[in-house]
Amino acid sequence: MITRDDLAARDAQDPLASFRDAYVLPDGVIYLDGNSLGALPHEARTRLHDVIEREWGRDLIRSWTKNDWIGLPARVGDKIGRLIGAAPGQTVAADSISVNLFKLLAAALQLRPGRTTIVTEEGNFPTDLYIAQGLTGLIERLGGTQFKLRYADPLDIPATLDDDVAVVMLTHVDFKSGRSHDMAAVTAAAHLHGALMLWDLSHSAGAVPVDLDGCNADLAVGCGYKYLNGGPGAPAFLYAAARHQDAIDPALAGWMGHAAPFEFSPDYRPAPGIARMLVGTPPVLSMAALEIGVDGLIAADMTRLRAKSLALTGTFMDLVEQELGDAFGIMTPRGEHDRGSQVSLTHRHGYAIARALIDRGVIPDFRAPDVLRLGFTPLYLRFVDLWDAVAILKDIMATGAWDRADYKVRAAVT
Amino acid sequence: MITRDDLAARDAQDPLASFRDAYVLPDGVIYLDGNSLGALPHEARTRLHDVIEREWGRDLIRSWTKNDWIGLPARVGDKIGRLIGAAPGQTVAADSISVNLFKLLAAALQLRPGRTTIVTEEGNFPTDLYIAQGLTGLIERLGGTQFKLRYADPLDIPATLDDDVAVVMLTHVDFKSGRSHDMAAVTAAAHLHGALMLWDLSHSAGAVPVDLDGCNADLAVGCGYKYLNGGPGAPAFLYAAARHQDAIDPALAGWMGHAAPFEFSPDYRPAPGIARMLVGTPPVLSMAALEIGVDGLIAADMTRLRAKSLALTGTFMDLVEQELGDAFGIMTPRGEHDRGSQVSLTHRHGYAIARALIDRGVIPDFRAPDVLRLGFTPLYLRFVDLWDAVAILKDIMATGAWDRADYKVRAAVT
């Protein structure tokens, strides 16, 4: 039997406990949605104040050089690289996940001429599929190759591969179930067929250790506003392995990716290396906040974060079983190598239960049709929070507090 | 002869004079670069503080609905629409100018099947050309139509048009010279050949009145961080005339443009109307600042702004001639219908002179090889500022203060 005292004892011994103080966490809230929007670091308030008052307000246009706005995408990118096993010069912070996927899918098709298949999963995050559909639709409408999107069995990716596959595009940790792919094994399987491997790290970066270089991955994208705590709509990132960079003719060829952006030449000439993947002017305020978020993760260290994350998610699953029996299905795998930093519970009244939880200060996510998605952010979550969240869930189920007509009306929830 | 007293008298009668108080303007600075980065509105500081503390820090993920983050792109877009003659439902704030150009060029090629030419000017803003090169390169590499980029004579666009032209892509006010196209006439000429008209309003929106709907324009993009005062790297905007929207299959098909983004369907189904042109999650901090910038322009009124802008630029050119004779070439046309809100002076030592001006608190822009680009922002510039800037320029020229070795070393200037 796990008790609240046991969990309080774990908090007392948690080497990451003090990191919680670095984040703004509203009173009366147990925030289990850091995988949708990370909490505000206190340091981000300070930094944003400085960017607004001094860099924008006072230094104005001079900030591009004086305060190195021009260096933000590469600098923040390299910092993110430290969290995902990418040596410097392979990662940039820029644009949205969707736009970055477009750039990299277009690059992948170019790098594997003659191949016409993109392999992915039907359960991949929808925007990843949409971007592939948009790109292949564009090419086809304008008279080009008819590329095909092929859905793989998530539990047996290699079975779907053949030598027509240009690129395998997968999300490392599934947004819905929290199940994780074996990055090294799947990448190797793709390479066996000469295909490129493109990882979406939206639910991995800052949540689980990733070793892109070590796995010999080719391409990757990820999210700035989830576990990286970069703030709402923070810029995303993209990674392209050094060995591929100079062979990419960017589809989105913008001034920031030009070899000499201030030459104002009418002809595009891609910058050497990863810089060519930049397009337009970055949103500086959002980029500055992202840098602070990433700094926090570097300071905490991914190995320590992963250890706590596994303890949090494992303990939470144990607690749900102990306190709630089989009231909920547990969609997330138990194996430590098979899951990210979230636990997904299923219940046919999941949406109403999510609404009831929110009204009691426990903030989960809901994913249709029946998934309560709970993110566990080791930077700012305590073990006692697990107990308190489960206690509230138990009370909601015991009292039927979720069974209200207004809770059943679906509104847009992100 | 114009005197400083004359200009002080004009300030006393200026109906927009009080708007200056709404912007942060550093002491000792005459800011003639609002066309590269607009000044910080005081109100943006307040708004950003609230977005950071309350919306991100306290309300967290709930802000997507509670604080209508989800509505930002359309709401800010429609406000921008009021400045550019676009009825609601045709403009969204999103992404960068470059990315938006890609979306619209791809749409234009789809809407004019069989046509293979994009007409533009060689002197167009370089990123506009790069984006066209990137798009056509992508299509060609992947086996599609070989599209051609054709450069028109800026003074005679119609002469370049024929029935192979799918789209004419021009910047309304030239970034370097400040020369303005006749939007209605050029749009009509494009339509005469069945081509679509795509306007880049980066140096127009918030600077000169634009009437996209009235001119029957098809597509447009523009900048959020110049005259709209949206802050560094603020999101850009795009316009697609209502009559075209539902025929566009977005090349960049992302979740924000889906008909039911929270359904998490694996198949892309474009949202009705302009919303389909959205792609990924918007940078909320930067978007919030942009909204405040746009509000300021709406309050000031584009007709009043244009009247003051013409007076500022006209008076400045008169003053340069009066005080400096023919020391500088004046690249910007004198005709009131032919110019935007900037004056471009040419001098073979333009770069060093720009550096000397900056050290004296007058902030211009420099565009290679020899252009001093001076932006006149009627919201926060005074007539006496013209006198003082010219006096400093005159002193720099008379004393040879610009003639320093360190001023001649070119650094990146945006």
Please give the DSSP secondary-structure letter assigned to residue B178: -
Cross-chain Cβ contact A265/B126 below 8 Å: yes
The yes-or-no answer on residue A125 being catalytic is: yes
Domain ranges of chain A: 4-31+301-408, 46-299
pLDDT in tens, A281-312: 999 999 999 999 999 999 999 999 999 999 99
Per-residue pLDDT, A411: 67
Nearest by CB to B143, from A134, A144, A256: name it: A144
CA nearest to A52 within chain B: B45
Nearest to B127, CA basis, from A278, A249, A91, A238: A278
Tokens of B21: 């108080």
DSSP assignment of B181-212: --HHHHHHHHHHTT-EEEEE-TTTTTTS---H
Rounded to a whole number, what is the distance in Å from the CA of A98 to chain B's nearest CA? 5
The CATH homologous superfamily for domain B4-31+301-408 is Aspartate Aminotransferase, domain 1 (3.90.1150.10)
- Cα–Cα distance list, B314 to B11, B93, B226, B289, B388 (Å): 15, 32, 21, 31, 16
Determine the residue type at B159.
A
pLDDT in tens, A9-38: 999 999 999 999 999 999 999 999 999 999
Q: What share of chain B is helix, strand, coil (3-state, %, to 5)?
A: 45, 15, 40
CB A151 within 8 A of CB A310: no
Please report residues of A whose CB lies closer than 8 A to that of B263.
368
Average pLDDT over residues B273-300: 98
* pLDDT at residue A412 greater than cutoff 80: no
CB A295 within 8 A of CB A142: no
Average pLDDT over residues B348-373: 95
Q: Quick one: three-class SS letters along chain A? A: CCCHHHHHHHHHHCCCHHHHHHEECCCCCEECCCCCCCCEEHHHHHHHHHHHHHHHHHCHHHHHHHCCHHHHHHHHHHHHHHHCCCCCCCEEEECCHHHHHHHHHHHHHHHCCCCCEEEECCCCCHHHHHHHHHHHHHHHHCCCCCCEEEECCCCCHHHHCCCCEEEEEEECECCCCCEECCHHHHHHHHHHCCCEEEEECCCCCCCCCCCHHHHCCCEEEECCCCCCCCCCCCCEEEEECHHHHCCCCCCCCCHHHECCCCCCCCCCCECCHHHHHCCCCCCHHHHHHHHHHHHHHHHHCHHHHHHHHHHHHHHHHHHHHHHHCCCCEECCCCCCCCECCEEEEECCCHHHHHHHHHHCCEECEEECCCEEEEECCCCCCCHHHHHHHHHHHHHHHHHCCCCCHHHHCCCCCC
Per-residue pLDDT, B159: 97
Give the pLDDT band (50/70/90) at residue A409: confident
Which of left, alpha, beta for A365 (phi over 0: left; psi -120 to 50: alpha)? Answer: beta
CA nearest to A141 within chain B: B110
Look at residue B29 and give its three-state secondary structure.
coil
Cross-chain Cβ contact B64/A144 below 8 Å: no
Average pLDDT over residues A130-136: 98
Burial class (CB in 10 A: 0-12, 13-18, 19+), A291: buried
Cross-chain Cβ contact A254/B98 below 8 Å: yes
- Cα–Cα distance list, B49 to A49, A147, B228, B248 (Å): 8, 47, 20, 38
Nearest by CB to B139, from A126, A134, A139: name it: A139
CA nearest to B54 within chain A: A26
Which of 291-350 (A) contact B at CB < 8 A? Answer: none
Has the ipTM of the complex gone over 0.90?
A: yes
pLDDT in tens, A366-390: 998 899 999 999 999 999 999 999 9
Q: Rounded to whole angstroms, how far apart are CA atoms B134 and B113?
A: 19
* pLDDT at residue A321 greater than cutoff 60: yes
Which of left, alpha, beta for A114 (phi over 0: left; psi -120 to 50: alpha)? Answer: left
Please report residues of A whose CB lies closer than 8 A to that of B281.
96-97, 225, 232-233
Q: Rounded to whole angstroms, how far apart are CA atoms B48 and A232?
A: 12
Nearest by CB to B98, from A60, A109, A252: name it: A252
CA nearest to A112 within chain B: B142
Nearest to A55, CA basis, from B56, B26, B217, B398: B26
Q: Which residues of B are catalytic?
A: 125, 200, 225-226, 373
* pLDDT at residue A414 greater than cutoff 80: no
Please provide the average confidence, as pLDDT, over all residues in chain A. 96
Report phi then psi at A92, rounded to 5. Answer: -130, 150
B149 at A interface, C-beta within 8 A: no
Please give the DSSP secondary-structure letter assigned to residue B361: T
pTM of the model: 0.97
Inter-axis angle of helices A42-50 and A284-300, nearest 10 = 140
A39 at B interface, C-beta within 8 A: yes
Cross-chain Cβ contact B40/A57 below 8 Å: yes
Please give the DSSP secondary-structure letter assigned to residue B148: E
Average pLDDT over residues B347-360: 96
Which of 213-252 (B) contact A at CB < 8 A? Answer: 225, 231-236, 249-252
B73 at A interface, C-beta within 8 A: no
Q: Which residue has the tokens 């960049």?
A: B252
CA nearest to B33 within chain A: A61
Which architecture characterizes domain B46-299 according to CATH? Answer: 3-Layer(aba) Sandwich (3.40)
Catalytic site residue from A225, A328, A351, A383 = A225
Average pLDDT over residues B325-346: 96
Average pLDDT over residues A179-192: 98
Catalytic site residue from A226, A308, A339, A382 = A226
Q: Rounded to whole angstroms, how far apart are CA atoms B39 and B232?
A: 10
Beta carbon pairs, A and B, within 8 Å: 308
Per-residue pLDDT, A263: 87
* pLDDT at residue B413 greater than cutoff 80: no
CB B218 within 8 A of CB B197: yes
**What's the sign of the alpha-carbon dihedral A264, A266, A268, A272?**
negative
Cross-chain Cβ contact B70/A232 below 8 Å: no
Q: Cβ–Cβ contacts within 10 Å for residue B46, how many?
A: 11
What is the percent of chain B where pLDDT is above 90? 97
